[in-house]
Structure 1
Amino acid sequence: MAAGAVRPAPRRYMPDGPVPPSCPRHDQGRCMTDHPTGASEPAILTPETRTALFYSTLFMGSALSAVYAGVWMAGRGLTPDQIGVVNAVPLFLMLVLNWLVGRVADKASDWRGVIVWSAWLAALAPLGFFAVEGFWGILLVWTLAGLPHMASIPVLDAAAMRMTARRGSAFGALRAWGTIGYLVALAGAGWLMERLGQGAYVPLLAGFAALKAVAAMGLPRFRAPGTNPDAPGARHLREVLKPWFLLPLLGWAAVFATHLVINAFQGLLWQAQGIGLGTVGLLIAVGAASETAMFFVYRRLFRGVRARTLMLASAVLSAIRWALMAQAPGLPVLWFLQALHGLTYGMGFLAGVQFIANWTSEDIAAEAQGFFVVLQQGMSVAAMAGFGLLMQHWGPGAHWGSAAFAALGAAAIWASWRLQEP
């Protein structure tokens, strides 16, 4: 084999292209190697059901923070640039930890243990908010709470992807329950916050973290019994760390970063435009509902479409969305822009996970997904810090920076088409 060449795999779970006609069974572009094993299980106890239950609690705290964290921090005396630093520091630290956590999880007998321990650590840390004040105290507790939560997400996504591929179920529909839980938390937390005020933020955040930790105890075993020596894909990450593989991941990581900015700053921006907190919650809920719908219809809507095509489409649409958001449009346009979230985020996210699963084996599933998240967080550190500075001078016009960032991501994904691949 020539130097630098990538070992071709005999077949792929999720081809970056149309499903081959010879594939006897396929789901969401994946070749199935066995039949679902849950036929004799009570429906309520299937691995998919227990994983969906945990996913439904995974982003409840994120939903609460998307609307109220910035407002709560500002109420504690933090400036916009300090809020940007608080959100960026955990992301910076995860540049080192995510890849390491993924490697540890892959070497364990199952990915479940890492997920459960992370959930409990993330449940204990928010209790520190009851005792701290000021920038440094909030930064410390926010970081301790965020690290285990963020570290577990790529491990869970990789584990759920491999489990659903093996059993013949759909990862997208399973992942959608994370957004459903996000929507439920938005509705419930918004109602409580409007009645109880900003003082309810920390108790609600701690409660959501505790609920997630309890749900983690019901997670199933994700790996199949025994080993699968014929599993497709690279068994070492270095086998696929080539420009044709890296550019799409880097490009969509930039797109992801522009979406993460909304979680940190959009509540403040819309409030400054005279939009009430209740309406802010509804606007974010529209985006979450659009994302949920995309997760459920993805495999039927885009069966046979190449993953990078979908990643590129999400990047281009994101650049357009942020350019329109920079105009500080009124509510009618904002409803429409939020409804695009399923295409700008949901479609791109699933396509990115699909692209990775295509070229990597189960031996490095969590490590590869963790690497993708490392790229996302590296881009997010720059986006968070930059957006905070732009927002101080331009207000909603800071979205022009997000539009440029997403356009650069689209260019990187497009460039990968020009390179040779296996």
Structure 2
Amino acid sequence: MPAGRVTPEMRTSAFYASFFTGSGAAVMFLPIWLSGKGITPEQIGLINAVPIAMILLFNLVIGRVADRAKDWRQVIVIGALIGGIVPIGLFFVNEFWGILLFWTLVCLPGGAVGPVLDAAAMRLARRNGSDFGVMRAWGTVGYMVFNGLTGYLVVWFGADIFVPLFVGLAILRALVALQLPAFRAPAEEKTVKAATSAPAARLRDIAKPWFLLPLFGFCMVFGTHFILNAFASLLWKEQGISEDVIGPLIALGAASEAAMMFLWKRFGGGISARVVILISAIASALRWFAMGFEPGIGFLVALQLTHGITFALGYMGCVHFIANWTSEDIAAETQSLYVVGQQLLSIIAVVGFGWLVKDMGAGAYFVAAALALLGGLCVWLSLRLMPAQGK
């Protein structure tokens, strides 16, 4: 590579770094910001769940359109540009219905193009022999920075800083999207995987129980992590932990996630993707079980550091599992189908958890632990139906 050359991987990493910054700020402060406006836990659950339901309606369509476009880049850039404009509406809403409407519109563009971005970046990495994990890890770095920084900004400037911060980060993401590279392989090129196997080119060829079960299983595990995003900061605040501690505490989980992604290529390729997902599910069940006892800050630090295993490991396993068995013809559509499953389970988990928190408090995490175990059972059944064979 010539000195000073900006590679497609660098451009993609830069966009990933901007992509999750708003989410990092929102996970840290959105539940508290909503609570400060008189929004109840049940309503907070709806504000987190309704956008997922709306994204659900669009994901498969967006994935199919992206697969049929000349390049996946166009869909990603358009989504980012829309996502940079819509959040301005948050300046003008203060009650439940207005916040619900605009937060749904805010989440829709990023949620719809996220699977397309993952599919595109994975295919770029396989074509060039580069590391998808490193590119995706920069997204977690951006998320982590604003997990930690948002808590301090709120302490320094007050709760009113949240909306300007979130809008600024959305505009930044839109601007960074403009420098994204082309992702799709030229017709004469083949990915590394394509040279060694014949991945499915149609969804119906791959829609079998052994393929769907591990994805569905991790969707259940993912849903339990969405509960963490929606309610952890509020539960910790009620436990007496201040915002300037909550932010870094959440950021620790993101740091663990980033470390796992940066290191993935060194060890992840030698383990079956489904075994990796199973490990993630079991670790998640143990994590949520411990969270149900409202542990102190010292123990919470240790639990947050397991995030690289409970989330990142399973996420990387699923993305590689999909790429191992599918071709570029259905890359974004299959990734979107998987994300639809995530969203369905997340809606159920977040809405249900909103009601459980009211009656059980942190004890609701015990239910999350049971869901994670069920997810692990799905992966185990898949391994019984179809041995791993290194995939």
TM-score bucket (shorter structure): over 0.9
Aligned partner of 2:247 in structure 1 is 281
For these two proteins, the number of residue pairs brought into alignment is: 383
- 1:197 is matched with which residue: 158, 165, 170? 158
1:348 to 314, 321, 329: 314
- What does residue 313 of structure 1 align with? 279
**Which residue among 395, 398, 404 is the counterpart of 2:370?**
404
| CA-to-aligned-CA distance 1:115-155 (integer Å, 9 cap, x gap) | 00100111111111111221110000001010101111110
CA offset digits 1:57-78 (Å, max 9, x no partner) = 0110001111100011111111
Structure 1 unaligned spans of 5+: 1-38
Partner of residue 38 from structure 2, selected from 77, 81, 85: 77
* Equivalent residue in structure 2 for 1:293, among 259, 265, 269: 259
- For 2:228, the aligned partner's letter is I
- Residue 228 of structure 1 and its aligned partner are, at CA, apart by 5.3
2:177 is aligned to 216
Match of 1:234 in 2: 200
**What secondary structure, in the 3-state scheme, does the structure 2 residue paired with 1:203 have?**
helix
1:2-57 deviation digits (Å, cap 9, x = unpaired)? xxxxxxxxxxxxxxxxxxxxxxxxxxxxxxxxxxxxx34x5441101111100000
The one-character-per-residue Cα deviations of 1:70-125 (angstroms, maximum 9, x if unpaired) are 01111111100001001101111222211110000000000001000100111111
Measured after TM superposition, the shift of residue 299 of structure 1 is 1.5
The CA RMSD measured in Å over matched residues stands at: 1.4
Q: Report 1:145-224 matches (<5 A).
A: 145-224=106-185
2:341 aligned partner: 375
The equivalent residue for 2:64 is 103
Q: Which residue of 2 aligns with 1:265?
A: 231
Q: Distance in 1 between matches of 2:150 and 2:29?
A: 9
Whole-angstrom CA distance in 2 between matches of 1:219 and 1:111: 10
The residue that corresponds to 2:47 in the other structure is 86
Structure with a larger share of its residues in helix: 2
Give the corresponding residue for 2:25: 64
* Counterpart in the other structure of 1:134: 95
Q: Bigger radius of gyration, 1 or 2?
A: 1
Runs of 4+ residues deviating >3 angstroms: 227-232
**Residues 382 and 227 from structure 1, CA distance in 2 versus in 1: closer, same or farther, beyond 3 angstroms?**
farther
Q: Quote how far apart the aligned CAs of 1:288 are.
A: 0.6
Q: What secondary structure, in the 3-state scheme, does the structure 2 residue paired with 1:303 have?
A: helix
Structure 2 unpaired stretches of 5+: none
SS in 1 for 2:270: coil
**Residue type of the alignment partner of 1:99:** L
1:256 paired to 2:222:
yes
Distance 1:187 1:266 in 2: 14
Q: Which amino acid aligns with 2:261?
A: F
**One-letter identity of the residue aligned with 1:210:** I
Normalised to the residue count of structure 1, the TM-score between the two structures is 0.89
C-alpha distance in structure 1 between counterparts of 2:241 and 2:93, whole Å: 30
- Letter of the structure 1 residue corresponding to residue 324 of structure 2: N
CA distance in 2, matches of 1:256, 1:353: 13
1:301 CA drift (Å): 2.2
Letter in 2 for 1:301: F
Structure 1 residues 377 and 260: alpha-carbon distance in aligned structure 2, compared to 1, 3 A threshold: same
